[in-house]
Amino acid sequence: MHAGCGPRAPSGSPLTTLGFCGSWACEPLLPLPLPLPRHPAREGLCVRQPGSVFCLHVEPASDRHGHGGLSAVVGYPLDTVKVRIQTERSYNGIWHCIRETYKAEKAWGFYKGMSLSVSTVSLVSSFSFGAYRNFLYNICRLRYGTSDVKPSKVDISLAGCATGAVRVVLISPTETAKVRMQTQKQSHYSVTAPHLPKPKYQGPVHCLRMIAKEEGFGGLYKGCSALLCRDCHSFATYFLTYNILCDWFTPAGKNKPDILTVLISGGSAGVFGWAVATPMDVIKSRLQVDNLGQCKYRGLIHCIRVSVKEEGIRVLFKGLGLNCIRAFPVNMVVFVTYEGVMRLADHLMK
């Protein structure tokens, strides 16, 4: 299962610092032993400074653009419904929210702010998988002195948790703009309906500018404490679930899962990840839409206390069903497309 890495290339050779990483092993241009455990980001370029303990795995970004944008389009309408249910008490349930949204805003109401998500999801996805791969590789190097080991569940969880933490800096502004756009109720202004007032936010970029202008730079990071709590444990669960299920369903002697295994493992990883993330996702959304002029919540703990006091403990699980329903197909698309593209790339490079 573990492919070995042979001797390094001579000092000064470009092959000393560059290798092509495969499934449980790194398959460099020369056979160097840098086996890596199976996880979602299987292949990448391993770039290492000679003599350094750390290795930077550079993920190929081209495969992200297809499945990233597709997964955003697939899941965005349900995400809009989820956000509205989490932040407003006027809806009696999922179908009531869908009916009211369509009645007032038609189909466009489900896609408010989607352009920002579609344009950034590839970058965020590539960053997340690449960060996870780097964290896992270097955790193994630090704990065991070598990457030629199968990482433990603790290693995978730590790498996932660290990935969730660092991506908060990247996604918090876009998350805030997305939630503001999704909860904005004004019908879209158009030349066919000139009597309608223009909405406060006329697009995702305009929303970002308005938030920065009215609330300062900190406004772009509203709810980042809840986002940090959400992503740390959800990404640990996400990657751990995928690895465990792939190991369970992949027959002995095979180092890559088949498509059915990827479908089940990827979809299940998304479901479990969102199941543990939902409570903090509710709090994050409420903090992000909280108006600074009439601030209802003073922070993360205060938001939890007020929300639970007013609506009961069930408020922390608003949108749980939607999150799980949305997560399964979206993450099947993510992992199946990723695996397919990477295997095609691997075949073309042979």
Contact 137, 147 (CB under 8 A): yes
204 three-class SS: helix
In tens, the pLDDT along 281-296 reads 999 999 999 875 568 8
Tell me what percent of the residues of the chain surpass a pLDDT of 70: 75
Contact 2, 24 (CB under 8 A): yes
CA-to-CA distance for 281 and 270, rounded, in angstroms? 14
Mean pLDDT highest for which of 18-32, 142-156, 265-279? 265-279
* pLDDT category of residue 257 using cuts at 50, 70 and 90: confident
Taking residues 287-310, report their average pLDDT.
88
**Dihedrals phi, psi of 26, to nearest 5 degrees:** -90, 125
pLDDT at 337: 78
CA 52 vs CA 2, 49, 84: distances in Å:
22, 5, 49
pLDDT at 294: 67
Taking residues 203-227, report their average pLDDT.
94
Find the range with the poorest average confidence among 3-7, 109-113, 123-127, 177-181. Answer: 3-7
pLDDT > 80? residue 71: no
Taking residues 74-102, report their average pLDDT.
91
* pLDDT category of residue 36 using cuts at 50, 70 and 90: very low
What secondary structure does DSSP assign to 50-108, as a single string?
TT-S--EEE--SHHHHHHHHHHHHHHHHHHHHHHHHHH-SS--SHHHHHHHHHHHHTGG
CA-to-CA distance for 224 and 202, rounded, in angstroms? 24
Contact 31, 4 (CB under 8 A): yes
In tens, the pLDDT along 239-253 reads 999 999 999 999 888
Find the range with the poorest average confidence among 74-78, 263-267, 310-314. Answer: 74-78
In tens, the pLDDT along 109-167 reads 999 999 988 888 888 888 998 899 899 999 999 999 988 888 999 999 999 999 999 99
pLDDT at 285: 96
pLDDT > 50? residue 4: no
Q: Which residues pair with 46 in a beta bridge?
A: 19, 57
29 or 3: which leads in pLDDT: 3
Q: Which two tokens stand for residue 276?
A: 């543990």
Q: Write down how long the chain is.
A: 350
Which amino acid is present at 243? N
Q: Where are the alpha helices (DSSP H) in 106-223?
A: 114-144, 153-183, 204-215
Q: Which residues pair with 266 in a beta bridge?
A: none
**Closest among 249, 257, 269, 5 to 128, alpha carbons compared:** 269
**Dihedrals phi, psi of 135, to nearest 5 degrees:** -60, -45
**Closest among 80, 105, 103 to 319, alpha carbons compared:** 80
pLDDT at 16: 30
pLDDT at 267: 95
Strands 44-47 and 18-21: antiparallel
**Across all residues in the chain, what is the average pLDDT?**
79
pLDDT > 70? residue 197: yes
* pLDDT category of residue 74 using cuts at 50, 70 and 90: low
* pLDDT category of residue 194 using cuts at 50, 70 and 90: low
In tens, the pLDDT along 317-334 reads 999 999 998 889 888 888
Mean pLDDT highest for which of 39-53, 79-93, 175-189? 79-93
Contact 177, 211 (CB under 8 A): yes
* pLDDT category of residue 306 using cuts at 50, 70 and 90: very high
3-state DSSP percent of the chain in helix, strand and coil, to 5:
65, 5, 30
pLDDT > 50? residue 105: yes
* pLDDT category of residue 12 using cuts at 50, 70 and 90: very low
pLDDT > 90? residue 188: no
